Chains A and B, each alone.
Chain A
Amino acid sequence: MKQLNISIAFFRSGILGYGGGPSSIPLVHKEVVQTYKWMTDDEFADVLALANTLPGPINTKMAGYIGYRVGGFLGMLNAILSSILPTIVLMIILLASLSSVRSLSWVGGMTKAVVPVVGVMMFTLTWDFYKKSYQTLGKVIASVAVVVSLLLLEILHIHPAILIVVILLVAILKRDKAPRDEQEMKKGVS
């Protein structure tokens, strides 16, 4: 039953994730956090942060890791295959049977219409993360952190992996002052 649920969750998020890996992030979030409740929002955020930091395709990393946590090694294989196999098979069949894929204009139209829908889902997820940030860090710090991250990523073009590693290092190295910091943070919130 568990393995069947893993199959369903990653088949759905893979087959509906038009527009490359990142488009399936909100879909995976929906399945994993809301439908099957395998993870909390916090855990999902950690997985997403690390998946973004490591190289390689993001969707299969997330599928593989979540499948592994829920259903062990078998769950991992199950999740990866469910998310990638259907479209690989589809691709082989289409390329083998058609001389030119450019004639498939309706396929292109379908893809175009899904892009803004995924955008809306991505927006909702963004908003969730922002809300969670200001619940833990306070509105001012959270907003400043978002703006600074945006500047670093988009204006200075710092690679996300580097930024995430630096933030994680700061969090680790700050250990000695931790209790005081947290008290200050609570004061800031209240």
Chain B
Amino acid sequence: MMLYWHIFLAFFIPGIVGYGGGPASIPLIENEVVDRYGWMSVSEFSEVLALGNSLPGPIATKMSGYIGYAEGGFLGSAVAVFAAVAPSLILMIILLGLLYRFKDSPKVKRMTNYIRPTIAAMLGVMTFSFFATSYTDSGVVQTIILIVASFFLLEKLKVHPAYVILAALVYGGIFLG
């Protein structure tokens, strides 16, 4: 019972303190898992992180799901994912519920309008960091090939992103492995 409580705390705290999405909470998770509870060594943790980074899907939930499973089996996994996801999700449902109750008020419309340029700026920063990561990992030539090809497929030929990403996976497995 104590173990499940610890698992809950180990993922609840990084989830609630880790502003800025999944990747921001990784060092916090490491702090709990390696330093506080000693469930893993640093090198084991980095092994898990390396694999987590190569697999698709949100990183924080993958880490919590796996580490929870390793420590407490299926129930441990469920507890860890719940602790990482539920608190901020509940807050979000309440806040957006309030927002939609006053959807037609000019105040709320203005919020939507005012926030948009900032979201555009944040997405722009993310765009840049994706390109920068690709430049560091795959070099300038591969990056440009992939950018031009995917832009053409997505925007000109209107291919569904799923197929473009699958094509990139095959390309990467063969040429960038």
Chain A nearest CB from B19 CB (Å) reads 5
Q: Mark A80-105, 1 if CB is under 8 A from B, else 0.
A: 10011011101110110000111011
Contacts of B99 in A (CB 8 A): 46, 50
Chain A nearest CB from B11 CB (Å) reads 10
Say whether B3 faces chain A, with CB atoms less than 8 Å apart.
no
The number of chain A residues touching the other chain, given as a range, is 35 or more
Instruction: Judge whether B16 and A55 touch: CB under 8 Å.
Output: yes
Instruction: Judge whether B85 and A109 touch: CB under 8 Å.
Output: no
Q: Mark A110-126, 1 if CB is under 8 A from B, else 0.
A: 11111111111111111
Instruction: Judge whether A52 and B96 touch: CB under 8 Å.
Output: no
Contacts of B119 in A (CB 8 A): 45, 48-49, 52, 129
Closest B residue to A162 by beta carbon equals: B19
Interface of B is mostly: helix
Query: Total interface residues on B, using CB and 8 Å?
Result: 90
Interface of A is mostly: helix
Instruction: Judge whether A54 and B147 touch: CB under 8 Å.
Output: no
Contacts of B115 in A (CB 8 A): 45-46, 49, 164, 167-168, 171
Instruction: Judge whether A160 and B122 touch: CB under 8 Å.
Output: yes
Instruction: Judge whether A21 and B60 touch: CB under 8 Å.
Output: yes
Say whether A74 faces chain B, with CB atoms less than 8 Å apart.
no
Chain A nearest CB from B165 CB (Å) reads 5
Contact of B88 among A54, A100, A115, A175 (CB under 8 A): A54
Which chain B residues have a beta carbon within 8 Å of chain A's beta carbons?
15-23, 25, 47-48, 50-62, 65-66, 69, 77, 81, 84-85, 87-89, 91-93, 95-96, 99, 106-107, 110-127, 130-131, 133-134, 137-138, 142-143, 146-147, 150-151, 154-155, 161-162, 164-166, 168-177
Provide a sorted-by-A list of 18 A–B residue pairs whose CB atoms are within 8 angstroms.
A20-B58, A21-B21, A55-B18, A56-B15, A57-B61, A84-B61, A107-B54, A109-B173, A110-B169, A112-B172, A113-B142, A115-B137, A145-B114, A160-B118, A161-B20, A167-B111, A167-B118, A182-B110
14 new A-B pairs (CB below 8 Å) besides A48-B119, A88-B62, A125-B123?
Answer: A17-B57, A24-B58, A50-B92, A52-B20, A54-B88, A55-B16, A76-B89, A104-B51, A110-B168, A113-B168, A116-B130, A129-B119, A136-B116, A179-B106
